[in-house]
């Protein structure tokens, strides 16, 4: 029987469902559906199963991360504004025992001071920001590299 592909869970936090409409000068015109489709296509190339999940609710993201433990090989997450506020998401990632690649469309360090701190960064293998939708694709490639090395 063929071996099952490793799976990566891509999480999108609050307001990312508004991509395409939301502040296009910062986030671009690419919609979340476009990003998900690109991730799934890249996953096929990399022989990785990709699942995506968006929520505007912190608790739903926490629950999804808890449920990921043992079922996925890595997490790629853009936690949106929760990046800068959520100890609960940090704790959920630590409890999941899964490698995390943190991604952001915009370059956080060119923006307001409050976006410079990420609670998730200390649980992440690394952070990719500033490349628009490509940040997610680079993030998936990074996750594939981590999986290949483990």
Binding footprint of ligand DQA on the chain (CB under 6 A): 15, 78, 80-81, 83, 104-106, 115
8 Å CB contact between 140 and 10: yes
* Residue whose CB is less far from ligand DQA, 5 or 81: 81
Catalytic residue, candidates 12, 72, 82, 104 = 104
Q: How far is the CB of 57 from ligand DQA (least distance, A)?
A: 14
* Residue whose CB is less far from ligand DQA, 96 or 118: 118
Annotated catalytic residue 27: yes
Annotated catalytic residue 72: no
Cα first-last separation, the chain: 22
Catalytic residue, candidates 27, 82, 119, 136 = 27
Burial 16-42 (b: 16+ CB within 10 A, else e): bbebeeeeeeebbebbbeebbebbbeb
Extended strands (E) in 13-123:
49-54, 74-78, 100-104
* Residue whose CB is less far from ligand DQA, 5 or 17: 17
Which residues are known to be catalytic? Answer: 27, 104
């Amino acid at each position: 029987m063929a071996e099952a592909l490793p799976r990566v869970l891509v999480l999108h936090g609050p307001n990312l469902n508004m991509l395409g409409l939301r502040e296009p000068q910062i986030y671009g015109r690419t919609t979340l559906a476009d990003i998900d489709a690109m991730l799934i296509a890249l996953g096929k190339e990399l022989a990785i199963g990709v699942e995506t999940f968006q929520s505007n609710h912190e608790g739903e993201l926490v629950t999804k991360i808890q449920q990921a433990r043992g079922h996925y090989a890595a997490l790629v997450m853009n936690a949106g504004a929760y990046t800068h506020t959520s100890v609960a998401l940090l704790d959920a990632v630590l409890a999941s025992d899964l490698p995390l690649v943190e991604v952001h469309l915009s370059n956080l360090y060119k923006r307001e001071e409050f976006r410079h701190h990420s609670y998730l960064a200390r649980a992440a293998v690394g952070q990719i920001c500033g490349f628009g939708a490509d940040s997610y694709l680079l993030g998936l490639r990074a996750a594939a590299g981590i999986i290949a090395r483990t």
